[in-house]
Amino acid sequence: MGVVDPPPGGNEHDEARIAGGRPRSIAQGGLEAVLSRAVVLVCLVALVIVTGRLMEPEGRGLYALATVAASLCGLPLGAVWVANAIEITRRNVTLGEIFGGAIVIALAGGSAIALVAIAFSPLLGDRWWLVALPAAVTPFMLLGRYQEGLYTGIGHVRAVNLIHIARAALPLAFITPPLLAGASSRTAITIWVLWWVALPIALFLPTRSVFGGPRLPRQREFYSRVVGYGMKISGLNTVTMLNDRVGLVALAVLATDSDVGIYSIALAGIQALLLVTDALALSAFQRIGASPQDESAALTVRAMRHAMLLAAVGSAILVPVTVVAIPLTVGADYSSVPALIALLIPTAIGAAAFSPLYIFFEVQLASPSIRLKVAGSALCASVVLSCALAPLWGRWGVAVGTSLAYLLALAVAIRCFTAVAGTRLHEFRPGRREVQDYLALARSYRARWRGAS
């Protein structure tokens, strides 16, 4: 994206205000994206270190379960931002009306979700607060996501990058002080959930300056249209999100909070690694979606090979790195994390391959049902294997079960893809061509460096 697009339906003043008065080059936009991801990664690593070191495995397990509860609270209406982006594209309503409608949906819908979750929380006994605390801030959680979605919808890349940084930095900023002060895990998590309140409040005035004052939509069908479509997308997101968290829930029920905490550190390492492969898939998004189907399929396979290679090599490097880093950063209680990461390498490879595949299925084929089939197979296998293996081998069993589930889902995904594209199985195997691509890239950067010096 060479220039930040003006908001559809806006005027020249809006365009200048959003773009900062001058066009931004592709290089500048790409550099900002890379830098923002680097800052996000640093914040995520710091959050793992702070919670792992200061909360110890049991407290880290409670924190991980609170994040699962927060994700579940945000799922039913979280994807409404996609519907809002479509409204922006189609210019059905003004930007101010979309902003106002987003506030109404976040407050009303979020409050309804919060009431249901809080009513459910007593069933968890003395862990009720792990659900009740995140549930209480659901309206703010949704509003922050909708505000980010508005900027995404108008192509304000710089604002989206800054919001991503805020989403990574604010949790660290809110949980670190109480932990340093010696607060209990419950108190620290109580303060931590407030970052979801702080984000939309901090974004309100800047968002208002870009989109104008929020106004109620004049079209009566606006709410049913965006909520209905958003909930359909949320159904897909629910299955995908649960794939990564089934193991944590299984350990919470069938093992100990310490097992949850230790396993969550290993899972965080894999998720940090996938930031790189997700960026690769994002760079190919437009070409996979807009090219003729044959070209799109060929590019999808190539992106898959690169993603799987990066995930495999990155995981192999991450294991020895964590052998040294884990005792120094979070302590000896987490000494099993490197071995867990090794067991989760198939999970990383499968998840990396899914990113370009999902783009092909959803954008090129316009068939999200295939993604549901793939993600659903992973979820079903994860539930069965995690529940069967957690009582026997604890966190080790969950790691094995998760990896087996992802390998099964990858087989299902490739079969669905080959049925449409006619690709042969050997074409999915990374090889010399991908290595040569990276060697050529390294040589080009070395030449540029020498030329600049």
Q: Which two tokens stand for residue 144?
A: 């922050």
pTM of the model: 0.84
Q: Which residues of 129-161 are buried (b: 16+ CB within 10 A; e: fewer)?
A: bbbbbbbbbbbbbbbbbbbbbbbbbbbbbbbbb
Distance CA 383, CA 248 (A): 11
Q: 367 vs 52, which has greater pLDDT?
A: 52
Q: Are 240 and 376 in contact (CB under 8 A)?
A: no
Q: Which two tokens stand for residue 134?
A: 């995140």
Three-state SS at 183? coil
- The answer, yes or no, to whether residue 395 has pLDDT greater than 80, is yes
pLDDT in tens, 47-60: 999 999 999 999 99
Q: Are 78 and 237 in contact (CB under 8 A)?
A: yes
Q: Which two tokens stand for residue 382?
A: 């994860």
pLDDT in tens, 60-103: 999 999 999 999 999 999 989 888 887 887 777 899 999 999 99
Exposed / middle / buried, residue 261 (Cβ in 10 Å: 0-12, 13-18, 19+): buried
Give the pLDDT of residue 8.
Answer: 36
Three-state SS at 25? coil
Average pLDDT over residues 401-419: 93
pLDDT band at 38 (very low <50, low <70, confident <90, very high): confident
pLDDT band at 447 (very low <50, low <70, confident <90, very high): low
How far apart, in Å, are the Cα atoms of 174 and each of 15, 37, 74, 196? 35, 21, 20, 10
The phi-psi region of residue 23 (left if phi > 0; otherwise alpha if psi is between -120 and 50; otherwise beta) is beta
Q: Which two tokens stand for residue 336?
A: 């099993």
Q: Are 121 and 133 in contact (CB under 8 A)?
A: no
How far apart, in Å, are the Cα atoms of 254 and each of 62, 340, 389, 398? 15, 18, 10, 11
Q: Are 287 and 321 in contact (CB under 8 A)?
A: no
Q: Alpha helices of 20-156 — where are they, by DSSP H?
A: 26-78, 80-90, 95-120, 128-136, 138-153
Q: 129 vs 164, which has greater pLDDT?
A: 129
How far apart, in Å, are the Cα atoms of 279 and each of 82, 156, 227? 19, 18, 29
**Which of 278, 293, 282, 280 is CA-nearest to residue 367?**
293
Cα 99 off chain centre by: 23
pLDDT in tens, 152-194: 888 787 888 899 899 999 999 999 999 999 999 999 999 999 9
Q: Which two tokens stand for residue 135?
A: 């549930």
**Which of 276, 252, 425 is CA-nearest to residue 348?**
276
